[in-house]
Structure 1
Amino acid sequence: MSYRPEGLRTMDEADGAPAPASAPAGIGVRGWLRWAWRQLTSMRVALLLLMLLALAALPGAFFPQRPQDPAAVAAYYADNPGAAEWLERFGLFDVYGAPWFAAIYLLLFVSLVGCILPRTRAHVRALRAAPSRVPRRLGRFPVHATHTTTASAEEVARAVRRALGRRFRVAGTAEGISAERGYLRETGNIVFHLSLVGVLVALGAGQMLSYRGQAVVVEGRSFANALVDYDSFTPGTLVDTDDLEPFTVTLDELTSEFTWDAQARDFAADVTITRPDGESRSDTIRVNYPVTAAGANIYLAGNGYAPHLTVRDAEGEVAFSQPVPFLPEDDFYTSRGVVKVPDVSPGLEQLGFTGYLLPSAVVDEAGARSVHPQPNAPLVVLDVYTGDLGLDDGVPQNVYELDTEGMTPVTVGEEPATILIEPGQEVELPDGLGTVTFDSLPRFAALDLRYDPSLTVLLVSALLAMAGLSASLFAPRRRLWVKIGTDEDGRTVVEAAALARGDDPGLEPELERVMTAVRAAAPTSQEDT
């Protein structure tokens, strides 16, 4: 039986075969393979694999993933060595790169393609086939009508065709006129499933070809699209980190606006993007409004202050002089930072500082605090440590954390030494350790760079999936037949019926619209039943 729009067969039946049943015994290897293929390409298996893929992705939300956060994985090993070993065996620290996840992904891809191809062939055959024959007895249909008119059969036929318009596929036969619509519903269904394949392809390509990195850039300084300039970098499987397209981003100025009660209103990073050939352009990055460079989107992920501090050791030599990003911890931009000074004069102990930057500082009996994010009265509050910073141990360190295991806090009497520095001020360190100068207060921008060539395919596939799903849900599937004959008096007798699959409130108005056109062909004499 050929495909018709009002009767959707399952994908298992798309080639005219019945839904797959249990494979009988004794069918041989070829028969078993055919049976397995039919099972894999059935819609129920495709839905099962889709649900299984969603479940398989859940561990990635509960356990740290090595490609995104290797430090968190190392910490998990330290805290739970036994459980971490088993999680590693099952690939739960890299779910999306695990063989079992790839197997589910590929099976789903094959299942969808195997479902779609036979269904598409059947749909194409149905589009080429003529509408169904006119039934012998139209009166047995629930929705039917008759009309007698003085218009000729040719006039009635022309009126019916005009009423049906382009929305129906119309065929004229000796029995009458047969019309069908609803192929858009199946077309939408096929487009929806093809779009799902497009989404799967885009996601897979994105995992292999995309990369993402974060970098902190201080005003007046530049960031280059090279691995050494990233603070963190997550490459795709096929990304060659030595072959990143070069460009530089210079942060010219970062501006911010706050209300009187410290509510953020706007952040803007004015940047200059320079290509290797020397061509440059100025642009502005705002929250949720990235700029594009070499096919990558650059987002403004955060901002803060980076006080420029100069540290001189006990010999008076400059041991450290550069801006230090302090990370905001509250709405008033109370920011925490660390200064590590390993390059002191020979024979002297290394220095470490940890403390806070207060943009609008107020110091009273309760201590020092910031009352507004803008730098109205900046103040840096630091605790001082001496000893071994541990930078020569070969173990990576967080630049925003100070490892005090091999260090000793500097004290004044029995209390830890705390120094307060304002811009332009130089403060001597206790015990003749040197001095610290607060030179200036530039700002920094935390940039998030994302390169993903599959985003266009993903967007188009998602839009097509929505369009296809809407068509498959809302496009009506209808048949309509019209018989044209004559009675004893030579008048033209028109008999019509319509059929839809399921409840269709628009079916009767559709038939009435056709009959109205028939009546208009010769309105002077009409008799309806």
Structure 2
Amino acid sequence: MRWLYHTTAAVSRRAWRQLTSMRTALVLLFLLAVAAIPGSVLPQRNVSPEKVRNYLATHKQWGPTLDRLFFFDVYGSPWFSAIYLLLFVSLVGCLVPRFRSHIVALVKVPPKAPKRFDRLPAHAELAGSGDAADAERIRALLRRRRFRTTVRQDGDVYEVSAEKGHLKETGNLVFHFALLSLIIGVAYGSWFGWHGNRLLVQGEDFAFCNTLLNFDEHALGAQVGENDLPRFCLRLDKFNATYLANGQPVTYKADINVTQHGKQSEKVLQVNDPLRLDGANVSLLGHGYAPVLEYTDKYGRTSTNVAPFLPQDGLLTSQGVATFPDVNINPQTHTRDEKAQIGFSGIYLPTVPSDPSANSSAFPAENDPRLMLQAYQGVLGFDAGAPLSVYTLDDRQIAAGRLKTFGEPMMLKPGQTGTLPDGTTVRFAGTQQWVTISIRHDPGQPIVLGGAIALLAGLLGSLSGKRRRIFFRISPTGIEAGGLPRSDYPGFAEEFDGIVRDAAPAASVPEQVPQTENVEEVV
């Protein structure tokens, strides 16, 4: 048992020393960067579950395997968390002893001078003798140069020890502690933060309140529940955009009505200028158009649908669908013919080109808008219980023949009406604009910001600091100086020579003889 105990203790100490070495920390940092690559390449379930479902449906061979290995939930996977935790432990175990040693080095006086100065990288001897006054004079000289100094006496021999350059190790420690704070800040934000995305259509009927059910996509931290979300409501009142002649956007500006804590206020939301609310930040991500369609069925009942269309290019050529499942209901029997449901697949052109068959807008602003529609009649598939996209018709219904094209394609201007084969009509009433917003709360953001600032400051200190030591031995027989750079410092020789010149007694300073090419004139 004693053998087992000692063996276990030895293996544990060896493993701890290996884990807390700087080499291991660098390897773990590299592994963390590699492990984050799938999170950037593959869609993540907590950000875009729809894209994950599409990926699994498209890649039926590799998709399930990647899903079992948590490649669609990288940052919450066991292997990513293990690397993260090991890196945290490694940095703590590596930095704490170094920090303790550095504090001791800052408090402790400079060490004693070596016995033989001639073995130091820099060495000089000054003519003349010295005493206590010379020792104090040299000490004052070094202190003016911001050296930490101390004077030791052994009989009639005085030694001056000076040290400078702890800024390098201080910056090094600040850099690594800042890196540790970044890891803590990211972990804290992951546990207690949350975010969600929402497509917000213009108008009071489409106001958004901050609840999970109203998000298009959302992700909550491990310690965040639905009741922890701050309560506020947003409404898009107006959206303005300006463009260059080539269609490149210049400004996006959304007028948002905010209701929070029982008070309403008007805010302006722009790109890279988020709304800072109590408990969340709201950022502007994108913009598009929502055509307004009015369908009148065969019983004369009119239904209105505001359908956001998704942009397909930079000129806001947009594609989407408008569905009318609750139409053609007999007013006498109140029964609905499920096979008479209507859906429209369309392409919206904010500015129609000279050749409309190109199916591409000529400019992102609504200079000459057109809406191209293809009607479908049959079973839309909403009653089947399967999740459906609001931006496309159900391809399974079309493939099964339960949803068929109804009439010829039509192109409508705002205000125009198209007639379907059964006499029903659809009117293009115009468009309402929409924006996509990201609502986010990250409590670890201040920690990460402070860590990033400290990281840069520590890096500058680590690169600019040069640690070195200077020694003087003053005795009745003469003055001897030596210097030792503790790091790579190309300018140390020049600095040492300058200190020696300033420290030399006035009588020992040799007279500077001007150099000339004519040796005879000098003689």
Q: Aligned residue for 1:181?
A: 164
Output the CA distance in 2 between the equivalents of 1:485 and 1:469: 42
Measured against aligned partners, the alpha-carbon deviations of 1:155-199 in whole angstroms (never above 9, x if no partner) come to 663354244336321111113211111222222222222222211
Matched, 1:40 2:23: no
Q: Aligned residue for 2:363?
A: 372
Matched, 1:226 2:216: no
Output the CA distance in 2 between the equivalents of 1:25 and 1:144: 55
Matched, 1:382 2:373: yes
Measured against aligned partners, the alpha-carbon deviations of 1:342-376 in whole angstroms (never above 9, x if no partner) come to 11132341111111111122465746653222212
Q: Aligned residue for 1:408?
A: 403
Residue identity in the other structure for 2:468: R
Measured against aligned partners, the alpha-carbon deviations of 1:366-394 in whole angstroms (never above 9, x if no partner) come to 46653222212221111000111111222
Contact 2:418 2:425 in 1 (8 A): yes
What is the CA distance between 1:261 and its match in structure 2?
Answer: 2.6
Matched, 1:121 2:100: yes
Contact 2:289 2:431 in 1 (8 A): yes
Deviates more, 1:229-238 or 1:367-376: 367-376
Output the CA distance in 2 between the equivalents of 1:436 and 1:418: 12
Output the CA distance in 2 between the equivalents of 1:496 and 1:248: 75
2:143 to 144, 164, 187: 164
Contact 2:142 2:162 in 1 (8 A): no
Output the CA distance in 2 between the equivalents of 1:119 and 1:424: 75
Equivalences, count? 492
Output the CA distance in 1 between the equivalents of 2:70 and 2:315: 42
Q: In the superposition, relative to structure 1, how do residues 504 and 166 fare at CA in structure 2: closer, same or farther (>3 Å)?
A: closer
2:68 to 69, 73, 89: 89
Q: Aligned residue for 2:274?
A: 290
DSSP 3-state at the match of 1:176: strand
Q: Aligned residue for 1:339?
A: 322
What is the CA distance between 1:54 and its match in structure 2?
Answer: 2.5
Output the CA distance in 1 between the equivalents of 2:51 and 2:364: 31
Deviates more, 1:25-34 or 1:35-44: 25-34
Q: Aligned residue for 2:222?
A: 237
Output the CA distance in 2 between the equivalents of 1:119 and 1:369: 63
2:111 to 89, 110, 132: 132
DSSP 3-state at the match of 1:187: helix
Q: In the superposition, relative to structure 1, how do residues 312 and 66 fare at CA in structure 2: closer, same or farther (>3 Å)?
A: same
Deviates more, 1:309-318 or 1:132-141: 132-141
Q: In the superposition, relative to structure 1, how do residues 150 and 262 fare at CA in structure 2: closer, same or farther (>3 Å)?
A: same
What is the CA distance between 1:44 and its match in structure 2?
Answer: 2.1
Measured against aligned partners, the alpha-carbon deviations of 1:188-242 in whole angstroms (never above 9, x if no partner) come to 2222222222111112122222222111112234222111221111222222123
Contact 1:311 1:436 in 2 (8 A): yes
What is the CA distance between 1:276 and its match in structure 2?
Answer: 2.8
Q: Aligned residue for 1:252?
A: 237
Output the CA distance in 2 between the equivalents of 1:365 and 1:233: 39
1:425 to 416, 420, 436: 416
Residue identity in the other structure for 1:130: V
DSSP 3-state at the match of 2:196: strand
Contact 1:214 1:233 in 2 (8 A): yes
Output the CA distance in 1 between the equivalents of 2:6 and 2:270: 66
1:208 to 191, 194, 198: 191
Output the CA distance in 2 between the equivalents of 1:188 and 1:369: 56
DSSP 3-state at the match of 2:87: helix
Q: In the superposition, relative to structure 1, how do residues 365 and 271 fare at CA in structure 2: closer, same or farther (>3 Å)?
A: closer
Measured against aligned partners, the alpha-carbon deviations of 1:464-489 in whole angstroms (never above 9, x if no partner) come to 122223322331010011223345xx
Contact 2:174 2:455 in 1 (8 A): yes
Q: In the superposition, relative to structure 1, how do residues 383 and 143 fare at CA in structure 2: closer, same or farther (>3 Å)?
A: same
What is the CA distance between 1:331 and its match in structure 2?
Answer: 3.0
1:326 to 305, 309, 312: 309
Output the CA distance in 2 between the equivalents of 1:395 and 1:132: 78
Deviates more, 1:234-243 or 1:249-258: 234-243
Residue identity in the other structure for 2:403: T
Residue identity in the other structure for 1:301: L
The percent of aligned pairs where both chains have the same amino acid is 38
Q: In the superposition, relative to structure 1, how do residues 209 and 166 fare at CA in structure 2: closer, same or farther (>3 Å)?
A: farther
Structure 2: 5+ residue stretches without partners:
330-335, 513-523
Q: In the superposition, relative to structure 1, how do residues 498 and 525 fare at CA in structure 2: closer, same or farther (>3 Å)?
A: closer
Contact 1:149 1:527 in 2 (8 A): no
What is the CA distance between 1:254 and its match in structure 2?
Answer: 0.9
What is the CA distance between 1:516 and its match in structure 2?
Answer: 4.2
Contact 1:479 1:498 in 2 (8 A): yes
Q: Aligned residue for 2:78?
A: 99
Contact 2:256 2:268 in 1 (8 A): yes
**TM-score, length of structure 2 as denominator length:** 0.86
DSSP 3-state at the match of 2:124: strand
Contact 1:214 1:446 in 2 (8 A): yes
Residue identity in the other structure for 1:498: G
Output the CA distance in 2 between the equivalents of 1:36 and 1:189: 25
What is the CA distance between 1:455 and its match in structure 2?
Answer: 1.0
Matched, 1:275 2:260: yes
2:48 to 69, 85, 88: 69
**TM-score, length of structure 1 as denominator length:** 0.85
Q: Aligned residue for 2:343?
A: 352
Q: Aligned residue for 2:7?
A: 28
What is the CA distance between 1:422 and its match in structure 2?
Answer: 1.6
DSSP 3-state at the match of 1:270: strand
Output the CA distance in 2 between the equivalents of 1:367 and 1:75: 28
Residue identity in the other structure for 1:351: I
Structure 1: 5+ residue stretches without partners:
1-23, 488-492
DSSP 3-state at the match of 2:456: helix
Deviates more, 1:66-75 or 1:111-120: 66-75
Measured against aligned partners, the alpha-carbon deviations of 1:416-459 in whole angstroms (never above 9, x if no partner) come to x1122222223322322x22222232211111222111111011
Q: Aligned residue for 2:250?
A: 265
2:432 to 442, 454, 460: 442
Q: Aligned residue for 2:468?
A: 478
Q: In the superposition, relative to structure 1, how do residues 411 and 211 fare at CA in structure 2: closer, same or farther (>3 Å)?
A: same
Matched, 1:52 2:31: yes
